[in-house]
A and B are shown apart, each in its own frame.
Chain A
Amino acid sequence: MARLTNDNVELAREIMSLYPRPKSALISLLHLAQEQDGHLTDSAMAHIGELVGVSSAEVLGTASFYEMFKMEPVGRYMVNICTNISCQLVGGEELLAHAESTLGIRPGQTTPDGLFTLEDVECIAACTEAPCLQVNYRYEHRISNEGFDQLVNDLRTGNRSDIPDHGVLAQIRQHIPEDRRAGSVTPEDTAVPAWISAPEEAEK
């Protein structure tokens, strides 16, 4: 299974350079690995450990804490249906039940064609737009049973090119131009910031 590709290693180095300590980039790099492979492979995790300078066990310890990281392959589309309180009150659980029957799987399972993984998730911050769901973390607000079936159909027939494969989060990344960069501040940089010291000196 895959370590990070050379391009991704380069990107990983750029990401690490944004932080005072390389380990702070760990979660970002795990996202990068998941974007590459759709889930987190052992070798990608080990590779990330090498890059940020921690043991593989520490990488796994961090990765496994977070819901979004999958250690096993999942469907191309992760369908996350919210059943938390605001959605529950207006039909989230019924929507989930409908999704189960449409997709023929229970939460946590993947359709045999490898297209969909269904999850019963906690609040996704769209409470006023309930019931709601996410496909690969792209929102569908106030969705009805029919709307759901349409969505599944569109995904099956490739009509939702706006939704990338599982693992791809933001497709635009931050890039700090070298000439604009203030530079990472490490805990060892104990100098008083320029704009703070100047007025203080002026006062004196």
Chain B
Amino acid sequence: MITNAPKITTSRFDNADSHTLAGFEATGGYQALRKALSMGPAAVANEVKTATLLGRGGAGFPAGVKWGLAPENVWPRYLVVNGDESEPGTYKDRMLMERDPHQLIEGVLLASYAIGCGQAFLYVRGEMPLAQERIATALNDAYAAGYIGKNILGSDFSVDVVLTWGAGAYIVGEETALIESLEGNRGMPRLKPPYFPAAKGLYMQPTIVNNVETLSNLPWIVSNGGDAFAALGAETSRGTRMFAVSGHVKNPGVFEVEYGVTTFRDLIFAPQYGGGILGDRALKAFIPGGASAPWFFEEHLDLPLEKVTVDRAGSMLGSGAVVVMDDTTDAVKACLRLVRFFARESCGKCTPCREGTTWLENILQRIQDGYGRPSDLELLLDVADNISPGIAWPPKQTTICPLGPSAVSPIASAMQRFRPEFEARITQAEENRHMVPVTISKAASYG
């Protein structure tokens, strides 16, 4: 269902000056902050709880609940903003940071106020200098205008917001790896439990990690009330949400739609959104929530963009990245490309992920290159099984974080639906050449 829900996070995107303080103030900016200061922190937290704002970073955990997980009376608490956006197919946080940095900052201030955080860190992906500049300017302006820093707007609320840049590592998007990175370390995830950030995060203090989009919703929620937000969307997915539609569509783009009610079909085919498959070809498959998500097919098109529904159907909305593949897509090649991503991005901490993802990549590469052996398909699945036992959804894991098992998603999907393509590649290999034991060197596969 396509609705006329208000734009919550992208309302200023059409304004040329959306990233400036003046432009922001002219369109209601920092009013939520003023309102919040008169409400008190508990009331602000309450509004967010009422809104049932699900995290937009991938896991979809309700922000209000997460804030409540910080152990009582343990101070200081930190807020870490996850702007490391790197999940293949995902493009929305960069937009929010480049085009409406003040909205994000206001969200950071509201969250800091509500949870009692005196210092927040805004971690922006390294490869995004424009976002870094826009946020730096916004922070400098907001400091000068008294919105951030000591005694904000004359109140007893004080918080410093520190801008930090990443340096190129997908895994740092994982919240505990992000914290490691913020401590100046290699971005290797910590085991949860015991290191749940809300309890033991940055410097082992309670730390709330929230995604850029999640926090960008806060000014609207505080201004309009949690109830107004909760009135939008479906039972378990409230408000609106940004989706990036990419791949084989006529009109790729980032669209803010009402959460929980809009369907994949709407998103991919509606003229104001994806506009249909490129060249009006047939749909082969689509990834509903970023590279880590199992693929969906034709039969899933009418599912609503609703968290629980999609989870039950065997995948996830993840980071709001819908990647469309038409019937010309080479399933083996697409699968290889995704697996290669995870192999390259493994932090190397867990044996199964470090060794296993590369092994999976090597097997797929040789199948793709026409050197596959008949036993390779079972090998592929068994190696996958040793990373993610049972190859089930939600995935089980022999690893610390979900990155390793994420490499299994495209394999499970492609092998389940397009196994004949893999087999054909192998049969062809058998016919075409004698089997030569091949070695796939790094240089060859990474170019």
Contacts and interface: CB of A to CB of B under 8 A. Distances in A.
Dominant SS among interface residues on chain A = loop
A101 interface: no
B191 interface: no
Q: How large is the interface on B (under 10, 10 to 19, 20 to 34, 35 or more residues)?
A: 35 or more
A193 interface: yes
B266 interface: no
A27 B165 contact: yes
B118 A193 contact: yes
A179 B341 CA distance: 46
A30 B167 contact: yes
Contacts of B117: 193
A143 interface: no
B85 interface: yes
A189 interface: yes
Q: How large is the interface on A (under 10, 10 to 19, 20 to 34, 35 or more residues)?
A: 35 or more
A138 B162 CA distance: 23
Interface string A160-187: 0000000011111111110111111111
B149 A126 contact: no
Nearest to A127: B246
Contacts of A11: none
Interface stretch (B135-143, B364-372, B417-425): B135-143
B248 interface: yes
A85 B291 contact: yes
A134 B131 CA distance: 14
Contacts of A80: 127
The 9 closest A-B CB pairs, nearest first, are A67-B168, A26-B184, A66-B167, A170-B132, A180-B149, A23-B184, A68-B168, A107-B447, A86-B246
Given A84-B341, A138-B129, A182-B149, 8 more contacts: A21-B183, A86-B246, A89-B246, A125-B128, A127-B91, A169-B132, A184-B119, A190-B76
Interface of B: 40-42, 73, 75-76, 78, 85-91, 93-94, 113, 116-119, 125-130, 132-133, 135-137, 139-140, 143-144, 146, 148-150, 155-160, 162-170, 181-188, 203-205, 244-248, 252-254, 278, 287, 291, 321, 323-325, 329, 333-334, 337-338, 341, 344-345, 347, 446-447
Interface of A: 18-21, 23-28, 30-31, 52, 54, 61-62, 65-69, 80, 83-86, 88-90, 96, 106-108, 120, 122-130, 134, 137-139, 168-177, 179-187, 189-196, 198-199
